[in-house]
Amino acid sequence: MFDLEKDFLYDLSKEVKTGTTVMAVTFENGVIIAADSRTSSGSYAVNRVTDKLTPVQDQIYCLRSGSAADTQIISSYVSYYTNMFSIEEGSQPTVKKAAHMFREFLYQNKQYLHAAIICAGWDPIEGGSVYSLPLGGSIVKQPFATGGSGSTYLYGYCDMNFKENMTEEEAEKFVTYGITEAIARDGGSGGIVRKAIIDKNGVRRKTVYGNKLKKFWEK
């Protein structure tokens, strides 16, 4: 029996989380980032078309997983500080700088936060870079990174299919299929696949709608 209080209202009172799948991968010209579009509060999908690809600077994006509130506020702090620093220094901020700022916030406030971030982008010094900042506030630079509840279903897929210096097409396929698979298997992920390709020319955003998602093995 459906109990209004127990089933529905209980869900609504749970914290809004981005039970999620996010991926970022470096390729020959830059990085490609991708995410699903489900924000859930318990089993209620608060937003089924969320945009988890958050700009920090023109060519630096972050992928947010964990508490929606925590990740939103931190990415706006980092956006503010990277702006101020770039004005002071007179040069474009590097992905390394933005990622380390994320680290500082995540680590110093670790007891209050439930946030994991992937910071990825392009800068003239390093080219495309991906930094993974998991729950405790550590920072790791990686050729590719996955995050969120759906990422557990992608470890095998990524290890087997990732190659260094892929072409844009290969890299796009890599992330699209990855998110698709995670959406199929993870209850916390769903909706559409949002992608962004970041290279020296800027950011190109793409979307793959639900009905266009490739179907892998299913009866």
Catalytic residue IDs: 20
Long-range Cβ contacts of 202-207 (<8 Å, 24+ apart): 202/58, 202/59, 203/55, 203/58, 203/59, 203/61, 205/53, 206/172
Binding of residue 218 to other proteins (CB under 8 A): no
Instruction: Choose among 25, 47, 28, 26: nearest CA to 38.
Output: 47
Q: What residues are paired with 2 via a beta bridge?
A: none
- Please pick, from the candidates 10, 44, 77, 85, the single residue that binds other proteins as defined by CB under 8 A: 85
80: number of Cβ within 10 Å? 12
Q: Which is nearer to other proteins, 130 or 179 (CB)?
A: 130
Binding of residue 107 to other proteins (CB under 8 A): no
Binding of residue 97 to other proteins (CB under 8 A): yes
Q: Which is nearer to other proteins, 38 or 97 (CB)?
A: 97
Interacting span for other proteins (CB under 8 A) from 49-57, 88-96, 173-181, 202-210: 88-96
Binding of residue 87 to other proteins (CB under 8 A): no
Strand pairing class (30-35; 39-41): unpaired
- Please pick, from the candidates 76, 89, 167, 212, the single residue that binds other proteins as defined by CB under 8 A: 89
Distances, alpha carbon 20 to alpha carbons 10, 28, 84, 90, 106, in Å: 21, 27, 31, 36, 19
Cα-to-chain-centroid distance, residue 23: 6
- Please pick, from the candidates 5, 88, 164, 169, the single residue that binds other proteins as defined by CB under 8 A: 88
Binding of residue 104 to other proteins (CB under 8 A): yes
- Please pick, from the candidates 18, 26, 94, 180, the single residue that binds other proteins as defined by CB under 8 A: 94
Residues found near other proteins in the complex (CB under 8 A)? 81, 85, 88-90, 94, 96-97, 100-101, 104
